[in-house]
Each structure stands twice: as structure tokens, then as C-alpha cells.
Chain A
Amino acid sequence: MSERKDAVIIGGGPAGLAAAVALDNLGIHDIVILERESQLGGILRQCIHDGFGLQRFGESLSGPEYAERFISEVRRRGIEYHTDATVISLTEDRKVEAVTPSGLLGYSAKAVVLAMGCRERSRGSIMIPGERPSGVFTAGSAQAYMNLYNRMPGREAVILGSGDIGLIMARRLTLEGIRVKAVFEIQDHPNGLDRNIVQCLDDYGIPLYLRHTVTDIHGGSRLEGVTVSEVDERCVPIKGTEKLYPCDTLILSVGLRPDNGLLKDAGIAIDPRTDGAIVDEHLMTSIPGVFSSGNVLHVHDLADFVSLESEHLAASVAAYLSGGLGSGMDVSVRCGSGVGHTVPQKVVSDDGFTLSLRVRSVMRDAVISVSQGGRRIVEKKMRKANPAEMIMIDIPGGSVCPDGDLEVVAG
């Protein structure tokens, strides 16, 4: 009893919404969005700060406002969507099953769009030593408690990690009267955007300590304090530098990873560097007809770029449905020195595409070059390249040939 659809979009956040609207624009109307929360919008719903939409709309919007631009388009066009619908299975032949309060939904899709977003790395995943009291929150969980549920996570906080959500939360906690003692970052550079360092820490006098990390957590019941240590160049804590910070709340902003559980179940090939699917330049995964974009593919810095990538994905899906997707090549994209990861990881046509990448370390006067068999295809010069920012390079159509890997180098 599965319903046939041209495209099933899993996730109703910025990626899924943008893909749905763009598909509709391209004349693909037989589509459905499946969203596990009670409302569309994804994590944008809890991001009540502004700064969204500068790239996409040329104005600064809050997260809910940014989402609403897309949600109203979805509604206006009558695109089918289900909220409270959690996908529990995706198969290789593109059958999708979702759980909803009114029963199971089953689809047999010509194309599937994976747009489930990302999740936060937890305390366990970075192996912070110490006891396990209450009061240790990921930044996104604390943000949800505050902005979606009107709940105060604590009274006196320390923040580990200078990712954007951590910086945003430093300001948010402060505005609600929670004392933020400091933000600690294990790297020698902040992980968030410069503008967030200025607007969320500097403006409120919250100190940021680089090359520091939490090395012990104290409290058998509720958090009582954390020990913080300086670290050396290899990020190893330096003995003798320990300092105790009494606090009842520890906010972790220590990285995001694609929420890839469904990919694993479906047997989709995963890139260990991104933890998202391995895709070609059409954003198609190892399963034909299954596409992926947004933070479940690779973690983005800005929601605007998630939307752009998803609109590109929609064009690929439309071409796929009409049998017009370019193919014929099998070229791997290799991460050379200085490059952490790329999307796509392979190229199957000479259609031209946007290459997204992250550099491994902060670089001044950086040159990022894409070459094939010693032949330079594109070179991008940047005054500063920062791992916190996603770098995008246009690869023109006709520039990739079938022989040899593409090599991406940053230095």
C-alpha cells in the first residue's frame, strides 16, 4: 500500500523546503515533504537571532522568518507535506516508510531527497572526562529548551567550543540573566564566524580562551564545576594549567555531524570525512535516484547556502526524472594538502558544478586550486581561508575530462 510519488523529501528544514519549492518551480508537482517535528522549519525554528538571509534575500532575517519565506511558498503552491511524520525506513528501491499519529505512510518514490540536517556532537563523542551530572547540554538542546519551551537551563554557565551556536547561546544566556563565565576553544582559532565573535562575545564582555578545553566535570548530581586546561599544539592538555570554574551549566558547541542514521540503514555510501553521503556533482548518492543536500550531506556554515545547494539539487532531480542527467565519466575528487573535505566527492559528467570544501587550518593569502592530471582547472585566491567557513568554487562545464582524479589543494 505504498503511494507513488515523483519525489519524497525527507526533512522539512531549510534544505527540504528549498528543494520542494524549487522542484515545484521546475514543474515537478507530485512531491511530498515528510517532517518529524510538529512544524516545518527544522532547526531554524529555534534560531531566533538574526543574520539569516543576507546571501539569499539580501536582508537580515531571524531563523523563523527565513523559514517562513519558504513555508509560505510551500503553502501557497499547495505542496503536500506531513508534520509529525518520522521516516523509519528507506530502502534501496526507494521505498519510504514514515510513522505519524494517524498511521504509517508508505511511498514508492522515483526520487528521494535526503534533507534531514545534522546533529550535535555530544559529550560522549568527544570523550570529556569526569562525572555525569545533569546540567551538561549541547548548545542546540539548551537553545531548544529556551526558545521553543520557555525553559531556563541553569544559572551560571561555561561554554566549550566556539562554534556559531555556542557563540549565539553565550549571548542568549546572558540576555536571560544567566552568567556566562567564559567560552573555551581547543583550537588556536575560533570555530564560529567573525561577526558572531564580535556580536555575541565582545559586545557582552564574555572572554574567549583559545587553546583551552574542559578536562574534568565535577558533580555527582547537578554540575558543580568544570576543570579547564590549556592545550599544546597537538591539542593535548598541559599538566599544571588546570583551573576550576564553578558553574551549574556546561554548554557544548563542539561540532555538528550529519544525522545519517537513515543513510546507514539504506546502505548508502558515506564519506568518513563529512559523515554524509558520497555524492556526484548532481548531489546523487550511491543509490540511483536518491539525492542529498544541506547539513545531512555536509555541515554548512550558513542556512543560505543550504538553500542554494538544495535548489541546485532540485535541478538535478528534475533532470533525473526526465532522463536527462549527464553521465559517462567516473572521476574522483581527491582532497589534497590543506583540504578537509569536498562535496561532491566524484564527478560523472562535464556539466559543470559548484565545488564546496573546507580547509584544514586558518590560511592567509590562500590559494585553492583544482587540477586534473597536472592541468589546472580553476584557482581561487583568498586573503583568508578559515575552516569555519565553507568555500565554494564554480567548476565550469566542459572543464573536467574523463581521465584522472580531480585534485583540490589549499595552501
Chain B
Amino acid sequence: MLHFFDAAVIGGGVVGSAIARELSRYELSIAVLEENPDVVCEASGRNSAVVHGGFAYDRGSLKARFCVEGNRMMDELSTQLGFRFIRCGKVLVGNTDEDLRQLERTMAQGFDNGATGLELIDGKRLHELVPAVNGSFAMLSSSSGIMDPFLFTINLAENAAENGARYFLSHKVISIARKDGRYLIHTAEDDFSVRWLFNAAGKGAKDISDMLGITGYRVIGSKGNYLVLDKRLGPLLPMPVYPVPSNTYMGIHVTPTVDGNVTVGPDAINTDDFGYYGVPADRMEYLRESASTLWPHIDRKDVIRTFSGILAKWVDDKGVIQDFRIEVRDDIAPGAVNLIGIESPGLTAAVPMARYAISLLRDRFDLEERKDFDPVHATAKRFAEMTSEEKAAAIAGDSRYGSLVCSCEEVTEAEVIRAIHNPLGVHTMTGIKYRTRAMMGGCQAGFCQMKIEQLLEKELGIAPEDVRYLRDSSWVLAGKMREG
């Protein structure tokens, strides 16, 4: 089937969805083409979930600029979109004279970049902020924070959809042709004819760029592995703890999550396989040992999960990591905004980056602003965060609030059912997980996955063999054992 839209956004991750949301401020029909069955399957859902301060990037770079802007914007975005963001600060700890000099350089760079809330602190202050941390002094970035990367991305996408953008999930772009002043985008499912397009394909951005005829970019994968620790440890870590960074690698850090877990990672291993997220045994041990030099509470017993993410870094001929590249090549691909090398701090920088990408289009074409754009994404308070009175009222209004599906994270049937009927049409098990936190707790889905699987069957009217886990071919069950 051939669809006509004014604009297509290729890639529905945090950057693509930020573009879709910001683009829906204009009188445009918008299609978002996402190859996965959800919007947080790749880097957007596989990272440290840290809102960065903007000090660890080269002066004058887009990374520095959008990071600082995104950091400033985060409170407002959090309120509008209803995802959790905690401006808890973070520390970069050091021990040697060389560490101190590097932190001073980082701090000076941060000031030039416009980062705020930076100060060098002594060991006493450091240990007041983070007890048990190993370090003699630190740079404190009080504007840094942590967020829920899943709901940031999902709620950007849902807000875009509420404002009229249409999401086409499981639509992998196969080819792009230019014809009669429009782009014809061919996917395995449907074809799309659009006037403008945005390449926000993340790890696939180089391929899309090639399809547009903008060739020659060298993009490498940098894979980071992580451990996830039990919620027991969250209260012991008030803010992320980093080693002294370089401008291209933050180092292995320990980070509290907004839900009270702790993540450990990432390492950085170069890879050209953007589809392999396996976490090797030696990496797990390395992460544990390396992060234990920063913070002593990392015990194998507390590991509940491992994961990895892959950053798509644009490098030059010598392999030196480059800045974000956001461009319109009028000579080669007019009306196409090409985003290359979008890696960390992409999460923090997503919205200002999206606005900048759209501004490149506005410089060239007249875009009419809508009057009815609504930046607010309505979210319901999580049952787990309600007071007893609120819980009682919620159950009185809908008895499904009184059925707990996931005991570890206190997620109710009402919340799971709402998540199943999400506006993007995501129907995977992990889709429910990222939207509700069901299955993320200590038992790691041991007790609740059957109930969620059953609700998916019932609410969607699908057969057991059609339930999917994360990807389109990740079937969960082989079917019924017996009919009836």
C-alpha cells in the first residue's frame, strides 16, 4: 500500500520521536517508520539513563550545545510528558594529581560550554554526598540527573501520536528513491511518498544516508555492557558516580535508576555488529571489578539482570570520534535532514537536537505552526506511588486496580491493560514491561509473565503463538497444549 505524507521520520527512537513530536507543532502529516515493534528496542532503551551536564564535550560542538540545552529543558519536559526525572547531581571522582588536572580541564570546558552547577569538592564533601565512594576529591555536577529513558522516549512518541503523527512499527526501510520532487520510501510492508524526511535511524543512519545518496560516512559501533543490581542498593547511592572522563568516553560508572535499582557500566568495545547485544562472561566480571574501585557495594548476589547497548559513532579516517552531524544536503538530497553519529548524549540532547533538525527545514521551506498542538501527555499516576486513600479510590473506580499482576513492582491489571492498548499499537511483552515496570522486579517475571501473556491474548484477541517478546520473530509460546 502507498501512503502519502508531508514528512517521514525514519527511526522512532528518542531522537526520531522527539523530531516527530516537535514536527507535530506544524500543519503537516507525519509518518514515523520504525523497524522494531516498539520505540525503545535499541540505544534509546539501552543506556545509563543519565541526564548529562554538558561538560565532557568539545567546546563549540553540537554535543555540548544540545546537551546543555537539553539539560535545562528536562524539568519542563518531565512535567509535560510525565516521565520521571530526578536532578540528583553526579560526581566524577579522582585520586591523583593527574585526575585533578583533568577534572579542572573538564570543569573549564564545562564553563565554556555553558554547563552550570559545576564545582570541585574535597573528600569530606564527597563522602557526605555519597557515603562509601572511593575517591579523594571530585567534580560535582549538580545539574546532572537521572531519568526513565523508556517513558521519556515512549511519551515523546505518544505525544507525537496524540498530535497526529502516525507510527508505523515493524516497518524497516529497504530503499529510498527520489521522484518528481518527492521521496518514495519502500519498506517490507508499505510504501511511503513524502516531501520531506528525517534520517533518525540511529544505528541504521548510515544505511539510510547511503540510500539518500549521502555517502562516505564511517560509523562504528561502540558496545557498552551493563549489570543491573537489586533495589536493595538504590538507597546506598544518591547520585551517579563516574571516574575521571575523557571527551570520548565517560568510563564505567555506577548509577542509581529512578526506580531505585543501580546500573553498573558501560565498558566500550568496538563492534561492527549492530544486532548483537549478547553480554559475555568476562565483561560481567570486568564491570564488577572496575566499578568496585569506585563504589564497594557491588556483589554478584545482587545482580538481577545484564544488558548492553550500542552507540553508533561517526569517526574520521583515523578513527577519531566526531561530533553529531545534522545536515541538509541540498545538492544531493533536498528536503532530507540527515542525522549521523547520534550517540551519547543523545538522550539528554534529543529535543533541542530535534528542534535544530526541524530548523534546517524551516530555513528552506515555509512551515505553518498549528494552533492546537498540545505539548502535554496525560499520564495516570502509578498505583505503586499512590497513597492508601488514592489506591482505595482507584480500586473503587475500577476493580482491576485491585488485581496486582506484578507484586515486585506493584503493577495492577488496570495498568497492564491500559499499556496493552497504548496509542502506538505496541503489542510485545517488553512493551508492557517498559510502560508499566511489570517484570522488572526481583523475580524477573517468574510470577507475572504468564498473567501478562494471558492479558495480551485476551485483550488483543490473538493466539498464544502470536504473542511476541521484544522483536517480531521472538515468539513466546509454541501454542496451546490441547484445544479447549
Q: Give the B-binding residues of A (Cβ under 8 A).
A: 36, 84, 86, 88, 97, 99-104, 119-120, 122-125, 127, 129-135, 138, 140-141, 144-146, 148-155, 176, 215-218, 220-222, 237, 248, 259, 261, 264
Contacts and interface: CB of A to CB of B under 8 A. Distances in A.
Interface residues of B, number: 60
A149 B449 CA distance: 12
Contacts of A153: 477-478
Interface stretch (B201-209, B211-219, B390-398): B390-398
A141 B446 contact: yes
Given A36-B404, A151-B464, A125 B304 contact: yes
B388 interface: yes
Contacts of A131: 276-278
Nearest to B469: A134
Contacts, number: 154
Given A131-B277, A144-B450, A221-B474, A124 B228 contact: yes
User: Binding site of A, secondary structure by majority: helix, strand, loop or mixed?
Assistant: mixed
B444 A123 contact: yes
B371 interface: no
Contacts of B307: 132
B129 interface: no
A218 to B, nearest CB: 8
A141 B481 contact: no
A88 B471 CA distance: 33
Q: In this complex, which of A99, A141, A150, A154 has the most chain B Cβ atoms within 10 angstroms of its Cβ?
A: A99
B480 A217 contact: no
Interface string B273-309: 0011111110110000000000000001101111100
B445 A141 contact: yes
B454 interface: yes
A154 B469 CA distance: 14
Nearest to A116: B407
A129 B306 CA distance: 8
A150 B480 contact: yes
Contacts of A130: 278-280
Given A144-B450, A261-B442, A100 B477 contact: no
A121 to B, nearest CB: 9
Interface in B238-284: 275-281, 283-284
B5 interface: no
Contacts of A122: 304-305, 443-446
Given A132-B277, A150-B480, A84 B402 contact: yes
B388 A104 contact: yes
Contacts of B453: 145, 149, 151
B473 interface: yes
A348 to B, nearest CB: 28
Given A119-B446, A148-B450, A259-B443, A124 B476 contact: no
9 contacts: A122-B304, A124-B444, A131-B278, A141-B449, A146-B481, A150-B480, A151-B450, A152-B477, A220-B471
Give the 5 A-B CB pairs with smallest separation, nearest first: A134-B469, A124-B305, A101-B402, A122-B444, A221-B474
Nearest to A100: B402
A149 B450 contact: yes
Contacts of A124: 228, 303-306, 444
A237 B281 CA distance: 10
A130 B454 CA distance: 28
A104 B391 contact: yes
A150 B465 CA distance: 12
Given A101-B399, A222-B475, A176 B304 contact: no
A217 B277 CA distance: 11
B6 interface: no
A124 B300 CA distance: 10
Contact of B404 (A86, A123, A148): A86
A218 B481 CA distance: 26
Given A36-B407, A221-B472, A155 B478 contact: yes
B318 interface: no
A86 B402 CA distance: 9
Given A101-B403, A130-B280, 19 more contacts: A36-B404, A101-B402, A122-B446, A124-B304, A124-B306, A127-B300, A129-B284, A132-B277, A134-B429, A135-B476, A144-B450, A151-B450, A151-B477, A215-B281, A216-B280, A220-B276, A220-B277, A221-B469, A264-B232
Nearest to A104: B392
Contacts of B300: 127
Nearest to A156: B478
Contacts of A86: 404, 407
Contact of A127 (B306, B444, B446, B475): B306
A84 B451 CA distance: 13
B408 interface: yes
Contacts of A104: 388, 391-392, 395
Contacts of B4: none
Contact of B473 (A127, A221, A237, A259): A221
A122 B392 CA distance: 33
Contacts of A99: 391, 395, 402, 404, 412
Interface in B306-336: 306-307
A86 B395 CA distance: 13
B426 to A, nearest CB: 16
A100 B403 CA distance: 6
B467 to A, nearest CB: 9
Contacts of B388: 97, 104
A151 B481 contact: yes
A152 B446 contact: no
Q: In this complex, which of A104, A144, A237 has the most chain B Cβ atoms within 10 angstroms of its Cβ?
A: A104
Contacts of A119: 442-443, 446-447
A140 B444 CA distance: 13
B470 interface: yes
A306 B185 CA distance: 63
B99 interface: no
A132 to B, nearest CB: 7
Contacts of A132: 277-278, 307, 470
A146 B276 CA distance: 31
B469 to A, nearest CB: 3
A134 B474 contact: yes
Contacts of A97: 388
Contact of A129 (B279, B396, B412, B475): B279
B170 to A, nearest CB: 12
Contacts of A217: 278
A184 B36 CA distance: 34
Contacts of B84: none
Contacts of A218: 278
B480 A151 contact: yes
A197 B13 CA distance: 49
B179 interface: no
B281 A129 contact: yes
B446 A138 contact: yes
A90 to B, nearest CB: 13
A133 B306 CA distance: 13
Contacts of A220: 275-277, 471
B381 interface: no
Contacts of A259: 443
A179 to B, nearest CB: 12
Contacts of B232: 264
